[in-house]
Structure 1
Amino acid sequence: MKNHLLLLMSVLFLSACSQQSDMTASQSSQSSSEAIFTTTSETESTTVESTVETSESEEPKMVYQSGSLIQAVEKNDLEQVKAIIETDYNLNEQNNQGETPLLIATHNNQVEIAKVLILAGADINLQDHIQDSAYLYAAAQGKTEILALMIEFSRPNQDIYNRFGGNALIPAAEKGHLENVKLLLQDGAVDINHQNNYGYTALIEAVALRDGSQIYQEIVAELLKYDADKTLRDNSGRTAEDYARELGYQNMLEQLQ
């Protein structure tokens, strides 16, 4: 009887051990499965992210046809201009008249578009078929904001002249653009005594070719403040003082004597 009791207890003990072993194995298997699932999910996530990055990096750039930038400027489409210059586009393309996008923007006094082009590196010195450059035109035609941007952010070539052989200062003075005259003189790069094909300086043109009015008296005063040479003579042999005397511009004559 005692032996039977021992045998029964042994069977029960072995059965309990077997169940415990099965539970441990099951938990271990479940943990391994969860770990594999987590690793797989992370791998899949990484793969997805990598695919997106690759897709984005391989996205082709927009390609614009020749003439697109000129067309965008002519339409005064600032956003389109910005989009085009972000690509490998030729900022200095020229139309049939030799005009660049920047020169066209300067013609139209499109200050914001001109600024975008200047900051992007557009050439302010390229000349069209009548020898206007964006820089020369801005100075001659009173585009003061654009001229200021060119002086600040670019490099005007002072050896490039208009079709009359003049620099930026001469027509600015002759056309009465006092603020442009001030900008150019303050910058100091322009030759104040440059003579064009007729021998005119900025000082001579401000006197000889205009009406002697207050604005021109102020321009003469500004030029003299920066030591414009009063003794220079044009191709006819006359000085600015000679013209003031001939034309009866008494205020200017007093300035020049």
Structure 2
Amino acid sequence: MKFFIGIIVSVFLLLTGCNEREEKNVKQQSDSLIQAIENNDLESVQEILKDSSYLINESNDKGETPLLIAAHKNNIEVAKLLIEAGADINQQDRIQDSAYLYAGAQGKTEILKYMLEHAEPNQNIFNRFGGNALIPAAEKGHLNNVKLLLVDGKVDIDHQNNFGYTALIEAVALTDGTEVYQQIVQELLEYNANKELRDQSGMTALDYAMERGYTTMIKILEE
């Protein structure tokens, strides 16, 4: 009996050791991939993925995928390679950023464009504020991203985040009302953004424009 127990224990320890070595190897390869991306080293990324394609959606301790890291760095060619290789543009990190949401929010226009052309954004995945890609793009003044998302036509133009803000409301309420935001408001209205929606404070985009004295925006919103 002791003999069989000994065999079982030995097999268990052997399997455990193999698993630990495999996990360590995966961690080392993943770290190498992330380092190559941070260095914008396209050739190294290609070489690593050639033999270790399973690493393409492996995340670091922040939950960041290689594609999200490439988006952070605006490493356009690396991001394109990862997208072509099947990287998940919707996988979220610990603060609920995905590569798609981040590229939209932070003005990574070339990466966003490539995603819209070569992948399928999940429009039911939202950031930590409950927003889609369009809302922060509008609020941060990323006019080209706003245009891309509107032309693509799949994002919900009237989606309301946790505060009840739409892209139109944020483009007025959380900005300085300058020309780029006037252009964003105009673009949103041309795509039939709902001017009547109210946030959790009961305010419309026009209410905010009037409160802040944004005369040009008032004119645009009242037309």
Q: Shorter-chain-normalised TM-score: which range?
A: 0.7 to 0.9
1:22-61 matches, cutoff 5 A: none
Deviation at residue 88 of structure 1 after TM alignment: 3.8
Is 1:95 the counterpart of 2:63? The answer is no
Structure 1 gaps of 5+ residues are 1-62
State the partner residue of 1:130.
Answer: 95
Is 1:244 the counterpart of 2:209? The answer is yes
1:1-257 matches, cutoff 5 A: 65-89=29-53, 90-257=55-222
Structure 2 gaps of 5+ residues are 1-25
What is the TM-score of this pair, normalised by structure 2?
Answer: 0.85
3-state secondary structure, aligned to 1:189:
coil
State the partner residue of 1:60.
Answer: none
3-state secondary structure, aligned to 1:149:
helix
- Letter of the 2:85 counterpart: A
* Higher RCO, Cα 8 Å, sep 6+: 2
Q: Deviations over 1:24-68 (max 9, x none)?
A: xxxxxxxxxxxxxxxxxxxxxxxxxxxxxxxxxxxxxxx973432
Q: Deviations over 1:142-171 (max 9, x none)?
A: 000000000000000000000000000000
Q: Deviations over 1:163-218 (max 9, x none)?
A: 00000000000000000000000000000000000000000000011011000000
State the partner residue of 1:5.
Answer: none
Deviation at residue 83 of structure 1 after TM alignment: 1.0
- Letter of the 2:47 counterpart: A
- Letter of the 1:101 counterpart: P
What is the TM-score of this pair, normalised by structure 1?
Answer: 0.74
Whether contact under 8 Å (1:67, 1:93) holds in the other structure is no
- Letter of the 1:76 counterpart: N
- The size of the alignment, in residue pairs, is 195
- Letter of the 1:85 counterpart: L
State the partner residue of 1:28.
Answer: none
Deviation at residue 76 of structure 1 after TM alignment: 1.6
State the partner residue of 1:43.
Answer: none
In 2, Cα distance between equivalents of 1:79 and 1:131: 30
State the partner residue of 1:20.
Answer: none
Larger radius of gyration: 1
3-state secondary structure, aligned to 2:59:
coil
In 1, Cα distance between equivalents of 2:107 and 2:30: 30
The ranges of structure 1 where at least 4 consecutive aligned residues each deviate by more than 3 angstroms after the TM superposition are none
Give the % identical residues: 69
3-state secondary structure, aligned to 2:81:
helix
Deviation at residue 71 of structure 1 after TM alignment: 1.9
